[in-house]
Amino acid sequence: MVDWFFLIVTFAYGTVLCYFELPSLIEQKQYRELAAFIVILAAGTFFGFMKFSGKTVPNPSDLMYWIFLPLKGVIQILLE
Amino acid sequence: MKKTKITNRQMCFLTFGVSLGGSVLVVAALMTSIAKQDAWLGAVATVVLGLPVIWALVFLGRRFPDKNYIECLQTVWGRPVGTVVSGLSLYLWITLSYHIPWYVGDFMTSQSMPETPAYVINLVFIAAVAIAVKYGLQAFSRAFEIFILISASLFLLATVLILPNAKIENLQPFLENGLSPVFKSAFFLFAFIGCPVYTMMMIYPTEAENPKSAGKSILTGYLFSGVISFLAIILSILVLGWQITANTRYPAYRLAKEIELGVVFTRIEFIIFFSWILTQFIIDTLLFYAAVKGIAQLFRLRDHKKLVLPFALVVFVMSGVVFPDVLYQENWITFVWAPYAFLHGAVIPILTLILYFVRGGKKKFSNSHSS
């Protein structure tokens, strides 16, 4: 299901942020900050687009679940 | 640039908030499902057994008074390994900073506003958190001094009001299954209240007004949060009995529903709710701050505040993705969160401490302060 409201909110937020923050970052020659800013914002916008247009977003919790799967037996013992 | 400094009292309150925040409302259920009516002993055991771990953190902070946690790990473990280890620690802050809004959204939608989409609630919450971080450490720790007093006094008020309903029979039989379930439950409680304390290491030595005595404030804050957790657990058992506590999603909130004094003071569970939202706000702000500051530190950026607003978007989107449903969340918390937090909150600090001594201790590291 496409969630138009939040889809628009996500893109509007990204645009407004770029409009206000990018010029000052470029002016002050903070190129590392600029790169980090763009990467994080792009990640946020991308995940937002995926989520609100109804596609499945890769869930970081699944990754952690998979990593800690070998310890499941230990925790099971603790739970009893 | 003038450095912001945190007083000892603020340090104590921040530790209290970060330690208590995630757990006070939910952890009683997990504890009682393991240790049954003896879960309150588990809370005592947690506080006592957790102190050495917190002390290890404080000790590291004292040895590296001009380095925050990430720099400290990089110094002790060596640059490449330290970067990986601190990157993992940073990842916990990043994930946890969107777990907390999920809890707030879930609590609101399941307990009081079922028609509202969780994203709307998350949006308001995260906006407040992002603004708090944008204002800076000094500003929000001053605000939290007030918030924690409000939150703690509301909680104590609820405690006093609930006392007439307590039944001492609910604690019996004492130690029915021996001590081992008590220690098992203590492990889980420690994963909730002890492990997040390492978030404070982003603030403790570098931003403290007097780094020498601030360590004591961290220990005091941890003890306070242990006391509040203990109260929440023992009251849940005393009033509800362990069966109901173990089967309720938010035992402390369920507990406050029992308050009835005459006809005037009924349905005041929202004081617990308000107090909980405040602590959630505190812990999420601190995690958000640690995450943003950590990213800036790891990639050697000068200004972490520039990253606050884009990071808020990531947190906002992921807060609805992270747990698809309640069952998934309960499984995840038990099987992943407990070992994961334990790894970062206890294993890594202690390994770091051991490595610090193995690699030569004070003699080796005291002359590398400036590097």
Residue B134 and residue B305 in contact, taking contact as beta carbons nearer than 8 Å: yes
The token pair at B325 is 């449903």
Residue B259 and residue B266 in contact, taking contact as beta carbons nearer than 8 Å: yes
Instruction: Decide if B334 and A57 are in contact by the 8 Å CB cutoff.
Output: no
Helix (H, G, I), strand (E, B) or coil at B261: strand
Q: Quick one: closest CA in A to B323, which residue?
A: A61
pLDDT of residue B368: 52
pLDDT per position in chain B (371 positions), as tens?
456 688 888 888 888 888 887 677 777 788 888 877 888 888 888 888 888 888 888 888 888 888 888 888 888 888 888 888 888 888 888 888 888 898 888 888 888 888 888 888 899 999 999 999 988 888 888 888 888 888 888 888 888 888 887 788 777 777 777 778 888 888 888 888 888 888 888 888 777 777 788 888 888 888 888 888 888 888 888 888 888 888 888 877 777 777 777 666 667 777 888 888 888 898 899 899 989 988 888 888 888 888 888 899 989 988 888 888 888 888 888 888 888 888 888 888 888 888 888 887 777 776 555 44
Tell me, what DSSP letter sits at residue B171? G
CB contacts, 8 Å: B309 with chain A: 17, 21
The token pair at B210 is 């007097």
The token pair at B2 is 């003038």
- B115 vs A: CB within 8 A: no
Helix (H, G, I), strand (E, B) or coil at B369: coil
B323: nearest CB among A6, A43, A61: A61
- B178 vs A: CB within 8 A: no
- What is the C-alpha to C-alpha distance for residues A11 and A9, in angstroms, rounded to an integer? 6
Instruction: Decide if B321 and A75 are in contact by the 8 Å CB cutoff.
Output: no
**Bridge partners of B260?**
B266
Distance to chain A for B337, nearest Cα, Å: 9
Q: Spell out the residues 6+ positions from residue B330 whose beta carbon is closer than 8 angstroms to its own.
A: none
- B320 vs A: CB within 8 A: yes
CB contacts, 8 Å: A14 with chain B: 313
In Å, the largest CA–CA distance within chain A is 60
Site of tokens 């019996």: B172
Distance to chain A for B150, nearest Cα, Å: 33
Q: Spell out the residues 6+ positions from residue B277 whose beta carbon is closer than 8 angstroms to its own.
A: B104
Residue B42 and residue B237 in contact, taking contact as beta carbons nearer than 8 Å: no
Q: Which secondary structure element, helix H or strand E, spans residue B260, and what is its range? A: strand B260-261
DSSP symbols for B264-318: TEES-THHHHHHHHHHHHHHHHHHHHHHHHHHHHHTT-S-GGGGHHHHHHHHHHH
SS3 of B81-145: HHHHHHHHHHHHHHHHHHHHHHHHHHHHHHHHCCCCCHHHHHHHHHHHHHHHHHHCHHHHHHHHH
Residue B68 and residue B202 in contact, taking contact as beta carbons nearer than 8 Å: yes
The token pair at B267 is 């349905």
Residue B190 and residue B43 in contact, taking contact as beta carbons nearer than 8 Å: no
pLDDT of residue A37: 87
- What is the C-alpha to C-alpha distance for residues B19 and B21, in angstroms, rounded to an integer? 6
* Confidence (pTM): 0.89
ipTM for the whole complex: 0.90
- What is the C-alpha to C-alpha distance for residues B71 and B64, in angstroms, rounded to an integer? 9
B95: nearest CB among A33, A60, A71: A60
CB atoms within 10 A of CB B351: 15
Q: Is B84 left (phi over 0), alpha (psi -120 to 50) or beta?
A: alpha
Residue B9, CA atoms < 13 Å, CB-side half-sphere: 7
- What is the C-alpha to C-alpha distance for residues A48 and A59, in angstroms, rounded to an integer? 13
